Amino acid sequence: MLQIEVRTRYSQEVKLNRKKPFAVVKSKCSKQTFTQNERPQTVRSRKQDLTRRVNKELSIKFTESGLTSYAGFELLTNYLSRIGLNSVIRRHLGRADLAGDYGVVSMLRLILGMLIAGGRRLQHVEYLRSDPVLLRFCHLAKLPGERTLSRWLKNFKAATLERLYDLNAEIVGRVVGLLDLGAITVDVDGTVVSTGMKVERAFRGYNPHRRKVPSYYPITAALAETGHMLRVKNRSGNVHDGKASIAFLRALFGQIRETLGGAKKVRLRMDGAFFSEEVLRLVRSRGAGYAIKVPFWRCLDLKGVISRSRRWSRVGRGIDCLEYRLEMWGMEHRVVIYRKKVGHRTRKNYQLDLFDPDDGHWEYSAVTTDLPLGGKRLWHFMCGRGVHEKIIGRMKSDLAFGSVPTNHYGANSAWQQMATLAHNLLINFQIETGASRRHRSWKNTLVYRLKSVRTLRFELLCRAGRVVNPNGKTVLKLSRNDIARKSYLLLADSLKNIA
């Protein structure tokens, strides 16, 4: 474990020519005296003291004197050591067929470190080659090249990917299982990852922003209380969640039962693509609560229900609702229909002919649920699905979840699993090192105030430092910054309590 030392860099004082005042005014106030323990009042700095001249460009010199751009990774290294990540990796992937000169622990930690540091392509490993703190994080003396990483990722097949699923499930369950959560809310949804034309098992499908572009369509399940990504499975782009999600949901229920405990009440939130007989029967058979968007199919006659209804219950400003009992697939469904007043004609034309255009335009949506929630609370509960979209967006932009590093399906699927693992490890790191709790609402069910990966990089991870060996003891030196120093010391103290 490195010893972290914060030092001050003294700069040369710049002498300024001060002009003499043209007048002197004597003050009638008594002269203030300060004791040894009392500090004088702070005064505003002069404008001349705020700026400095830059005469010419600095000369650049590259050296191998232990400089690092990722000093904060030492705290992350200490955390992973305390939770025994290496043992967990060996237990799940130690017997997997992942041949190579580098061990599976070092290779997996290297990709995790590269993703957390901001790398998005395999060739970005070359920019980390001489960083001493990243080498310590990976437990390596020399980093592999881009092609070595590519060959290693292409060793992942269906069986080895299942081991990655189990590894991620254990990492999530380690923290979530200790939290006092009587009920958990799970958001299930798919997301589009556009690919190139020659990527294996990438097909044209649902891709609204880049139509006719081949893509993957991974399905994800996020825990709304903590922001963890419970499970991710990569799929081709030409699948539909109504039928292709059954196996994923079965595996998700099994994971929750094994890692989070079967006593917890599970509530699922899903969009209209999951409104199918198979999904509803599966969810009901597992005893889970659900809230699923209902598409406006003609066979459901929801427009007819709206046209015949004259009484709406107020939900909020410009939002009303009504309840309806729907008989379908041999089951009775409670459906809540919402209308929201907007000041424009929407692209999908939600406006019905029965309303006078002078009353404005309305957008309609419907939700089926078995939860004991009224119309108002159910509206806010479904609006909380936006947290899942935010998590996916941050994983794509901050942890390269949306990148396609190779043309191999197994390698790309493993890359997504490692990005998910990095996301969950950073959440665990914040929760176990003292993340503050937040006020929960009907809409936002997050328990902790968590920082994004970009914020962690700026405030903690990507700090300049130097690794030195005075008297044979390795020390990590950082430039002095009061805010950064306070954060480092607080985290270092919190890490001592993790076992």
Instruction: Please report whether residue 351 resides in a domain.
Output: yes
Domain that holds residue 335: 289-381
CB 371 within 8 A of CB 288: no
- Please, are residues 446 and 225 in contact by the beta-carbon 8 Å criterion? yes
Phi and psi at 14, nearest 5°, equal -105, 120
Q: In the chain, how many domains are there?
A: 1
| pLDDT value, residue 470 | 86
Residue 142 falls within a domain, yes or no?
A: no
The pLDDT, as a whole number, for residue 346 is 60
pTM, full prediction: 0.87
CA 22 and chain centroid, separation: 61
pLDDT confidence of residue 352: 53
Question: Is 409 within a domain?
Answer: no
Is the residue at 259 inside a domain?
A: no
Residues 6+ apart with CB under 8 A from 404: 193, 195, 196, 199, 216, 412, 415
Answer whether residue 395 is part of any domain: no
Nearest 5°: the CA angle 82, 139, 476 is 75
Looking at residue 5, what is its pLDDT?
Answer: 64
Is 431 a domain residue?
A: no
35 contacts: CB under 8 Å, gap ≥ 6? none
DSSP at 204: -
Calpha distance 481→489 (Å, rounded): 12
Q: Residue 384: CB partners within 8 Å, gap ≥ 6?
A: 185, 224, 269, 442, 443, 444, 445
Residue 208 lies in a domain: no
The mean pLDDT values, 10 residues at a time, for the chain of 499 residues are 58 44 47 58 77 80 83 96 96 88 95 97 95 95 95 96 97 92 93 94 90 94 97 95 92 94 87 95 96 94 90 92 94 95 64 49 91 95 94 97 97 98 98 92 90 96 92 89 92 90
Instruction: Specify if 94 maps to a domain.
Output: no
**What is the structure's pLDDT at 214?**
95
| Residue in this structure with the two tokens 């969950």, named with its chain if needed | 424
